[in-house]
Amino acid sequence: PAQPQLEVNGSTYATDSWTNVTPKILSYLGANKHLQKDHPLSIIRQRIVNYFYGAYRNQRGNPLFSVYDKLNPVVTVQQNFDNLLIPSDHVSRQKSDCYYINKHQLLRAHTTAHQVELISGGLDNFLVVGEVYRRDEIDSTHYPVFHQADAVRLVTKDKLFERNPGLELFEETWTGSLADPKLILPSSKCMDQTKQPCHTLEAVKLMEHEMKHVLVGLTKELFGPRIKYRWVETYFPFTQPSWELEIYFKNNWLEVLGCGIMRHEILQQSGVHQSIGYAFGVGLERLAMVLFDIPDIRLFWSNDSGFLSQFSEKDLHNLPKYKPISHYPQCTNDLSFWLPSDVDVDAGFSPNDFYDLVRTVAGDIVEQISLVDKFKHPKTGKSSVCFRIVYRHMERTLTQAEVNDIHKQIANASVDSFNVQIR
Ligand code: PHE
């Protein structure tokens, strides 16, 4: 039988065995919390955009950066992964980690997915802001939809070496040919933190210096001039060398952004041959939770005026601390079931599938789910799992009867969807 089609954002898509978006997830498209007046995520977006507008200006005093904050979150596998040199067997491509529309299209898992189309279109200084979609666990800091801001800045040789016109961007020994994507080194081999083979050390060091200066400036703009920070070397397939910037917050080092010198293959693919670039990406919820003291990521989706009325974009620089509307009681219920006999706890069963089902049935009244127990029966060989579900409404007290009813619905839906047997 022909696979049913899916209507997303006004376009029709074929579905296939990769399709795993749920109607619940699709309902977030177009919510645009990062553009909603007075929403904390919109306030953070404006702070970041204004900082970049001020940090880079042309001779006429106009901002150098342009901002793209309404791009369609439906992207191709090529945009989200291939273009960014993410290896074809990379874990981040798995069906259990992304929301696929079909084998070729998915809801973007990072705003970096738009890099190549924008650079190919001739842009050299831009920001992309929008929501991204990832399948993950359920707790106070994870939500299947969250927001990112990404930036790219490309600099030509003449601009980079304005004061040292004798220097070169590229190594003399480098042939300039596009690396064969099939020969792209696995992550273990790309960890060389010094530089990519094609770049001169002078070019990389200058670019790194500028990037770190601008990103520390952004961090101080957001968290105040006294914020304690550190750079941690890391790996991204699309940048080399790469770093994470961490801030010291409430006795912990907290990762706030990822960045690095853009892989030259990406620029070449986009038709840029005489520039070097840096890129960075930052999660908006993480910043907003720290800056406004917002304790739970579900609150960003609240339409309750008790939440929304606390924030105003009139004064972007005087951020109020969130005042809990009230703390309603939690209610915890366990759910145990036997998996079908041909499914193993560690092989055929993905907890993320269960989390999506819970999101669909119960929505935001689920605060947290943990997998508290799993075992294999020694005689029957059947696997059993137990999930602990913590229910709490953000704006009112849930009654025990209400929770029991929803818990029952989750159990029934699990039986229908996964062919499990409730214990
Ligand atoms: N896309 C990366 C992420 O989602 C962030 C990033 C963007 C890192 C650009 C480097 C350069 O974690």
312 found inside a domain? no
Q: How far is the CA of 242 from the centre of ligand 1 (A)?
A: 10
308 found inside a domain? no
Q: Is 10 left (phi over 0), alpha (psi -120 to 50) or beta?
A: left
**pLDDT tens digit at each of 423 positions of the chain:** 566 899 998 999 999 999 999 999 999 999 999 999 999 999 999 999 999 999 999 999 999 999 999 999 999 999 999 999 999 999 999 999 999 999 999 999 999 999 999 999 999 999 999 999 999 999 999 999 999 999 999 999 999 999 999 999 999 888 777 655 544 555 545 556 789 999 999 999 999 999 999 999 999 999 999 999 999 999 999 999 999 999 999 999 999 999 999 999 999 999 999 999 999 999 999 999 999 999 999 999 998 878 898 999 999 998 999 988 767 888 999 999 999 988 887 778 889 999 999 999 999 999 889 999 999 999 988 999 999 999 999 888 999 999 999 999 999 999 999 999 999
The count of other CB atoms within 10 Å of the CB of residue 325 is: 16
Residue to substitute in 85, 236, 257 for testing ligand 1 pocket (most ligand atoms within 8 angstroms of CB): 236
Torsion of CA 122, 125, 127, 128, to 10 degrees: 20
Residue to substitute in 232, 238, 285 for testing ligand 1 pocket (most ligand atoms within 8 angstroms of CB): 238
Total structural domains within the chain: 2
CATH number of the domain residue 402 falls in:
3.30.70.380
Residues 245 and 204 in one domain: yes
Q: Is 356 in the pocket of ligand 1 (CB under 6 A)?
A: no
197 found inside a domain? yes
Residues 100 and 157 in one domain: yes
Residue located nearest, by CA, to atom 6 of ligand 1: 281
58 found inside a domain? yes
Residue located nearest, by CA, to atom 9 of ligand 1: 280
Q: How far is the CA of 153 from the centre of ligand 1 (A)?
A: 14
Q: Is 20 in the pocket of ligand 1 (CB under 6 A)?
A: no
Q: Is 237 in the pocket of ligand 1 (CB under 6 A)?
A: no
CA distances from 295 to 149, 171, 228, 291, 300 (A): 21, 49, 22, 11, 10
Write down which residue in 277, 299, 321 finishes a domain: 299
For residue 109, which atom of ligand 1 is closest to its CA?
Answer: 4
Q: Is 112 in the pocket of ligand 1 (CB under 6 A)?
A: yes
309 found inside a domain? no
Q: Is 239 in the pocket of ligand 1 (CB under 6 A)?
A: yes
Residues 282 and 369 in one domain: no
Q: How far is the CA of 257 from the centre of ligand 1 (A)?
A: 8
Residues 246 and 362 in one domain: no
Residues 167 and 239 in one domain: yes
Residues 237 and 368 in one domain: no
Return the pLDDT at 179. 59
Residue located nearest, by CA, to atom 2 of ligand 1: 281
Residues 46 and 188 in one domain: yes
Q: How far is the CA of 235 from the centre of ligand 1 (A)?
A: 10
Q: Is 277 in the pocket of ligand 1 (CB under 6 A)?
A: no
Residues 84 and 171 in one domain: yes
Residue 311, judged by CB atoms within 10 A of its CB (0-12, 13-18, 19+), counts as buried
Residue located nearest, by CA, to atom 5 of ligand 1: 281
For residue 259, which atom of ligand 1 is closest to its CA?
Answer: 10
Residues 274 and 346 in one domain: no
Residues 19 and 164 in one domain: yes
Q: Is 65 in the pocket of ligand 1 (CB under 6 A)?
A: no
Q: How far is the CA of 170 from the centre of ligand 1 (A)?
A: 24
Q: Is 150 in the pocket of ligand 1 (CB under 6 A)?
A: yes
What ipTM is given for this predicted complex?
0.98
CATH number of the domain residue 235 falls in:
3.30.930.10
What domain range includes position 136? Answer: 5-299
Q: Is 283 in the pocket of ligand 1 (CB under 6 A)?
A: no
Q: Is 260 in the pocket of ligand 1 (CB under 6 A)?
A: yes
DSSP annotation of 196: -
Q: Is 307 in the pocket of ligand 1 (CB under 6 A)?
A: no
Q: Is 359 in the pocket of ligand 1 (CB under 6 A)?
A: no
Written as six digits, the tokens of 163 are: 């004061």
According to DSSP, the β-strands at 331-338 and 252-262 are unpaired
Residues 283 and 351 in one domain: no
Return the pLDDT at 148. 98
Residues 291 and 353 in one domain: no
Q: Is 110 in the pocket of ligand 1 (CB under 6 A)?
A: yes
128 found inside a domain? yes
3-class SS at 375?
Answer: strand
Q: Is 98 in the pocket of ligand 1 (CB under 6 A)?
A: no
DSSP 80-124: HTGGGT--TT-GGGSTTTS-BSSSSEEE-SSGGGGHHHHHHTT-S
The count of other CB atoms within 10 Å of the CB of residue 21 is: 24
Return the pLDDT at 400. 92
Residue located nearest, by CA, to atom 4 of ligand 1: 110
Return the pLDDT at 121. 98
